[in-house]
Amino acid sequence: MEKLRLLEKNYESAKEGFHNQLSTSYNELCKGLVQKRNRIDKTKADFEAAANAGQDKTTFSTEKVKLNVGGAMFETSLSTLRREESSLLATMFSGRHQLEPEEDGSYFIDRDPLRFRLVLNYLRDLRIPTAVSQDKAIQHELLQEAKYYRIDSLVKLLH
């Protein structure tokens, strides 16, 4: 019986020592990860600051934007183009990138104007017309445009 108590005592002592060592190692790893994350965040911020330094950015003097999409002219608002924040159009017209307008003040996009009309109307209303939802060919083409413009909500709607 005495051997059993001694064995249990040794077991409990070893278990406690292992737990303490494991806890210490875990805390050191966590601390190291936090330090590495902070260094990465600082490096990222320094990189972004350097990348943005001296860059000319496009500032839009009006809410209205003229677009030349595949030869067809469209007028819309910046808020419509920026409606889906992660989209290509929102990124293009965020003001973070230098865009050069054409002589007539429009911005050229080399895409199909027929499908762009549907994309633009979706951004305005956040819905697609019933006729489009009933036509698989148009749905497929619109899905390709939604993927190109990275309009995730429209991609989800069409899937």
Q: What are phi and psi of 21, to 5 degrees?
A: -65, -45
Rounded to 5 degrees, φ, ψ at 108 are -85, 135
Instruction: Kindly give the residue spans of alpha helices, DSSP state H, lying in the chain.
Output: 2-52, 78-81, 88-92, 113-125, 130-133, 136-148, 152-158
Residue 133: what pLDDT? 86
Read off φ and ψ for residue 133, nearest 5 degrees: -70, -15
Q: Which two tokens stand for residue 118?
A: 């549907």
Distance of CA 7 to the CA centre of its chain: 59
- Which pLDDT score is estimated for 56? 47
Amino acid at 16: E
* Total-model pTM: 0.60
Point out the residues of the chain with pLDDT beneath 70.
51-62
Which pLDDT tens digit goes with each residue over 31-75? 998 999 888 988 888 787 776 665 545 555 568 999 999 999 999
The token pair that represents 106 in the structure block: 């429009």
